[in-house]
Amino acid sequence: MAFFMKIALAQTNTTVGDFNGNVERIVKFARCARERGADLVVFPELALCGYPPRDLVEKPSFIARSEAELDRLAQLLPDIRALVGYVRRSGAEQGKQASDAAALLYRGKRVLDYSKILLAFYDVFDESRYFEPGNSAGLYAIEGWQLGVTICEDAWNDKNFWKKQLYTRDPVEEAVRAGAKLLLNIASSPFTSGKIRLRHDMLKAIAIERQVPVVYVNQVGGNDQLVFDGSSMAFNARGELCARAKSFEEDLVIFDAADGLGPKGEVEVRPGPASDVEAIYQALLLGLRDYVSKCGFAKVIVGLSGGIDSSLVVTLAADALGPENVLGVSMPGPYSSSASFRDAETLARNLGIDFRAIPIRSIFEDYLVTLDPAFEDRPRDATEENIQARIRGNILMALSNKFRSLVLSTGNKSELAVGYCTLYGDMAGGLAVIADVPKTMVYDLARYANRASERIPAACLEKAPSAELRPNQTDQDTLPPYDVLDVILRAYIEENLCAEEIIEKFRLDSELVEQTVRRVNSAEYKRQQAAPALKVTAKAFGTGRRYPIANKFSE
């Protein structure tokens, strides 16, 4: 039996809780899909309220609003079938009060209402905290052809693709067994390095294994620490990629599901990022831009030390928000080198951002005088370094308060991991842009930022990293070389290896590894007061890594 159906993949950028804005956006994309001749338009998971809504879902008023907005949306849509993710009142007597649902809207009505069966509860995902799982397949027939609807995690338990299953059920398999001839999966799957490729491979494998087309629509945009890359895709029943939306931008592409055997005409396949580094750079741009704008800010402030971290962050900010919205502040202290100051100044000029110098020496000396009686002739130590960092934090926050600009903090993942950073000092800020980027990747990103021209001065990439908080200081006075450190950190944090396994696997010095692991554990108290960090690795600090502070576990 022949089957013709044009499906629009509507990859929207939603804002959590912004029902009005999200509805407007869904209607706009649905009209566009209709104009392009689509029979069905598909939106991401929880497109109506934004993902992740977190504890908003515990508010009865939020659930009521969600149901009402879905009804309102149904009346506003043009004459097209639309699959929309939303928070549904579960209605169950027992259990959670909501489910993570997909409604198929057509001519003012919900013609299908499906609740997600597999709820993710690991890493950054807390779905079981909020949602009652669904139980039955989401099937809907158009001209005798069954569509099988699933939501995000539902598709991530294929027993041929994964070595280990997290769940006993496979909703994709169930849908196909129940007769689905085409699979629709709506998702809010956050970016991490390598995940665009992983999703592609997994969805392709499902199409081939089940011999049905697979249409996957993923959210795009940043919501707090999560960045959704979009990269929506459709495969035909042979596993050939027949549609692909942009990564890191809103987009609408059409998949022509003729016979499920691939498109009759041209395919709309937009290229993805050319490299891992490019993908991470774009993820950071999007996460930064969306955090600033969704929090209601226009302008940002970055403290510029002349080092590589703040240079990268301010370059990202200029690219994301436009140089006119970025202020770079150099705050030279008693141990700052004039070379670093000049590098910061050059960088600001290269980017075309505002630049201001506010020396901290006088305030620092005042602190030392004021604290002198209390310090009781104790020798200098990290205390005096932290005072300088906190003076800078205070100055940046004062500018933020006075001019309503958001401070971006500039620490990288490697230093945050081992606590080589000052709480309330360089950690101060509304968003920690590169706090999930290991130092070695910071260099890669800085080179990428310079791909067209040298914006970040070469000296920033070449000189030995230093906090410049005491004379002749470099990071490697107290830390192992960053390439070694990053190997240990990745194994410990992302792969959960213990010290012994790391020593063996990488043939590293045992004291070095053990000391690093101890430093990671004892810096937990700092991280729990850190600004939100844009997640780009498999395991970021923040909501995805939940450790006790008072913890005596040693490996």
User: Which of the residues 459 through 498 are near a copy of itself (CB under 8 A)?
Assistant: 496, 498
- Please, is 76 exposed, middle or buried when counting C-beta atoms within 10 Å of its C-beta (0-12, 13-18, 19+)? middle
Complex with a copy of itself: residue 252 or 502, whichever CB lies closer: 502
Of 24, 28, 78, 95, which one interacts with a copy of itself (CB under 8 A)?
A: 95
* Beta carbon nearer to a copy of itself, 372 or 454: 372
Instruction: Identify residues 31-60 at the interface with a copy of itself (CB under 8 A).
Output: 49, 52-56, 58-60
Answer for which of 136, 165, 478, 510 binds a copy of itself (CB under 8 A) is 165
Q: How far is the CB of 453 from a copy of itself (least distance, A)?
A: 30
- For residue 493, the minimal CB distance to a copy of itself (Å) is 10
Site for a copy of itself in 175-214 (CB under 8 A): none
Answer yes or no whether residue 94 interacts with a copy of itself by CB under 8 A: yes
C-alpha span between 315 and 446 (Å, rounded) = 9
> What is the distance between the alpha carbons of residues 344 and 23, in angstroms, rounded to a whole number?
44
Reduced to 3 states, what is the DSSP secondary structure of residue 247? strand
Q: Does residue 543 belong to the site contacting a copy of itself (CB under 8 A)?
A: yes
Residue whose token pair is 């699979």: 183
Residue 363 beta carbon to a copy of itself: minimum distance, rounded to whole angstroms: 5
Structural contact between residues 158 and 202, judged by C-beta atoms closer than 8 angstroms = yes
Segment 296 to 355, residues that bind a copy of itself, using CB under 8 A: none
CA angle 345, 348, 351 (to 5 degrees): 150
Question: CB of residue 262 vs a copy of itself: minimum separation in angstroms?
Answer: 35
CB under 8 A: which stretch of 100-108, 161-169, 315-323, 413-421 binds a copy of itself? 161-169
- 61 belongs to the binding site for a copy of itself (CB under 8 A): yes
Residue from 21, 260, 323, 419 touching a copy of itself (CB under 8 A): that is 21
> Minimum CB separation from a copy of itself for residue 59, in Å?
5
Let me know if 35 is a catalytic residue: no
Largest CA distance in the chain: 90
SS3 356: strand
Question: What residues numbered 346-405 form the site for a copy of itself, per CB under 8 A?
Answer: 356, 358-360, 362-363, 366-367, 369-371, 374-375, 378, 381-383, 386-387, 390-391, 393-395, 397-399, 401-402
State the catalytic residue, choosing from 45, 132, 153, 268: 45
Report, in Å, the least distance between residue 381 CB and a copy of itself.
7
Strands (E) in 39-144, as ranges, are 40-42, 81-89, 98-106, 109-115, 138-142
The interface with a copy of itself within residues 126-155 (CB under 8 A) comprises 126, 128-129
Among residues 135, 144, 164, 452, the one that binds a copy of itself under rule CB under 8 A: 164
Q: Which is nearer to a copy of itself, 19 or 281 (CB)?
A: 19
Q: How far is the CB of 49 from a copy of itself (least distance, A)?
A: 8
Q: Rounded to an integer, what distance in angstroms lies between the CA atom of residue 167 and that of residue 159?
A: 10
32 catalytic, yes or no? no
Contact window for a copy of itself (CB under 8 A) among 141-149, 257-265, 506-514, 528-536: 528-536
Total residues belonging to the chain: 555
**168 or 338: CB nearest a copy of itself:** 168
The one segment of 121-129, 190-198, 306-314, 315-323 that binds a copy of itself by CB under 8 A: 121-129
- 111 to each of 105, 108, 150, 258, how far by Cα in Å? 6, 9, 15, 23
Nearer to a copy of itself, 222 or 465 (CB): 222
Could you tell me the smallest distance in angstroms from the CB atom of residue 415 to a copy of itself?
17
C-alpha–C-alpha distance, residues 482 and 68, integer Å: 53
Is 92 exposed, middle or buried (CB count within 10 Å of its CB: 0-12, 13-18, 19+)?
exposed
Distances (CA, A) of 254 to 40, 42, 112, 156, 258: 10, 10, 22, 24, 12
Neighbours of 110 (CB within 10 A): 16
Stretch binding a copy of itself (CB under 8 A), from 39-47, 216-224, 274-282, 437-445 = 216-224
Respond yes or no: is residue 49 known to be catalytic: no
HEC assignment per residue over 533-553: ECCCCCCCCECCECCCCCCCC
CA distances from 325 to 221, 284, 316, 407 (A): 20, 17, 12, 12
Which helix (H) or strand (E) segment holds residue 187: the answer is strand 182-187
User: Which of 520, 517, 443, 450 has the alpha carbon at shortest distance from 483?
Assistant: 443
Instruction: Give the one residue of 75, 135, 168, 472 binding a copy of itself; rule: CB under 8 A.
Output: 168
Handedness of CA 227, 229, 230, 233 (dihedral sign): negative
Tell me which of 116, 195, 204, 294 is the catalytic residue: 116
Min dist CB 238 to a copy of itself, Å, is: 30
- Minimum distance from CB of 425 to a copy of itself (Å)? 9
Catalytic position from the list 49, 69, 127, 152: 152
Q: How far is CA 157 from the centre of its chain?
A: 22
Distance from C-alpha of 189 to C-alpha of 230, rounded to nearest angstrom:
8
Q: Which of residues 424-463 bind a copy of itself (CB under 8 A)?
A: 424, 428, 430
Q: Of 265, 338, 462, 553, which one interacts with a copy of itself (CB under 8 A)?
A: 553
Asked whether position 75 contacts a copy of itself by CB under 8 A, the answer is no
Bridging pattern class, strands 81-89 and 354-357: unpaired
Q: Give the active site residues.
A: 45, 116, 152
